[in-house]
Amino acid sequence: MQAISPVDGQVLGVFEKSSAETIRRQMDAARAAAAAWSSIDVTRRVRLLSRFSRILLDEADLVVDVIMRSTGKVGTEALLGEVYPLLDLANYYEKHARRILRYRGVSTSPFGFPGATAGIERRPYGVVAVISPWNYPFQLTVAPILSALFAGNAVIFKMSELSLPVGALIGDLFDRLDLPAGLVQAVIGDGQIGELLIDAGPDLVFFTGGLAAGRAVMQRAARHPIPVLLELGGKDPMLVFADADLDRARDAALYGAFSNSGQACVAVERMYVEQACYEGFVQMLVEAAAHLKVGQGLDGDLGAMTSPRQIAVVEEHYRDALAQGAKASGPLLREGNYLKPVVLWDVHHGMRVMREETFGPLLPVMPFSGEDEALRLANDNDFGLNASIWSGDIRKARRIASRLQVGNWAINDVLKNVGHGRLPFGGAKKSGFGRYHGAEGLRSFTYPVSGLICRSRLPKEPNWFPYNAERYAHFKGFLDFVYGEGSLYRRIRRNWPALQAFREYSVFDLMQRWQNLRLMLPWNRDN
């Protein structure tokens, strides 16, 4: 398979497509590596993985250069959008993975479980298949790889066929770590190879990409069945109220809509502006957008579009909007794989640009009259990934955020909350399910195992045989004593026969409380 640069059409390399037999051998190697890796204490895993951040910092210029040539991004976008979030995520897990993954004790009922302690441990799935997209190929591959590794899994990853040089670089970087052989491997190919990877039987599939491909991944995984985490597309709204700092909102809108030429799942793809400032704000956007510079390398604000197929989608959305009466800040100028950004207004929800994921440098703007209409418009979409609210009244903005049907939101900021390593990220509605980043994201690469330890010296448990009508009445009375209404005195009085029947277990109440307290102490968590 040839890798072609969207910048100038040069061939960046030729890669051998994986076969079904190769993938089966890789899966066997990954299973052996996963068994060895999961047996290593979390503290040691963290120590071994901490070198990745140092390597990434040392090789930042090389990483940025490969990303620029493979995707068409400008250098600053590659550095801030692909490298920085990984350093922040790795730093967070280096400091907190042990706490996040440790055994957690839970309280138990002294009657139902006399002399017992209980808790939850987190176990790695085993082998995780990571299938990543072309828009942020480095970040959106390495982030789930790191999460899976910190959690104790092995990884087989498949890059988009448009990002193969980035995949080779990722493999080289992980090869520099002192990890078990086969712990991080790559397969090469298109969607069919992704199907073969799923058919090889990983224990978890982590997919990032579009809705249609996400459905196909889920259907394929369901054949086996294999659990999936899906990070899918977005049609993210930006709500601007008249009391916002409009200059800041304007600059944020341009960045949110046109960063990476709009090729971001959390890009601002729908903008709603309060009627009182709508006309003036549109004019502000048009004037500011005219000064954005399309360039390459380290020069320019917007780089190339990575996929010619995506350029065609942007062109279709632009034509459809104009055909239905939208006004544009200018023509959609194309030079090679470079598109000049365009602001659209007089748009409505019947247009494709307001309903379908555009994934390109178009910013459609629509007015609203008040909070209720803003919410109705923002929620009127199949996707629910990210959103931003702009207002000088934080209480109002927070109230609106609580009613948005999204997995993530930001107030008076845009786009970059996806890169916050301490916040779980994921979608609602058709934007997928599951989370990565943050504590929840790390736990997503593990499954909970519940355990109960009984230290009772009683000859039998209260719920063991034999059963009879009298025993039933005593059980019912005890349940009323514990969970029923009324004061403690009233509950004791009306259920005294039941309490007498189970008095042999009352001595264990204080013991149970002490055991639960001991379990919560950090030096006893694993006992």
274 assigned to active site: no
357 assigned to active site: no
Tokens (6 digits) for 332: 């959609």
Residue 343 backbone dihedrals phi, psi, to 5 degrees: -100, 135
Element (H, E) at 345: strand 342-345
Whether the CA torsion 190, 194, 199, 200 is positive or negative: it is positive
Which of 257, 229, 298, 261 minimizes the C-alpha distance to 135? 261
As a whole number of angstroms, the distance between CA 451 and CA 511 comes to 19
**Catalytic position from the list 265, 269, 274, 277:** 265
**Catalytic position from the list 231, 269, 274, 356:** 231
As a whole number of angstroms, the distance between CA 208 and CA 481 comes to 51
As a whole number of angstroms, the distance between CA 340 and CA 311 comes to 11
Which of 139, 181, 143, 137 minimizes the C-alpha distance to 159? 137
The length of the chain is 527
Helices (H), 422-487: 438-443, 469-483
Tell me if residue 494 falls in helix, strand or coil.
Answer: helix
Contacts for 294 with CB less than 8 Å, ≥ 6 apart: 300, 301, 302, 303, 335, 338, 339, 340, 341
Indicate the residue type of 474. H
Tokens (6 digits) for 82: 């692909």
Active site residues: 231, 265
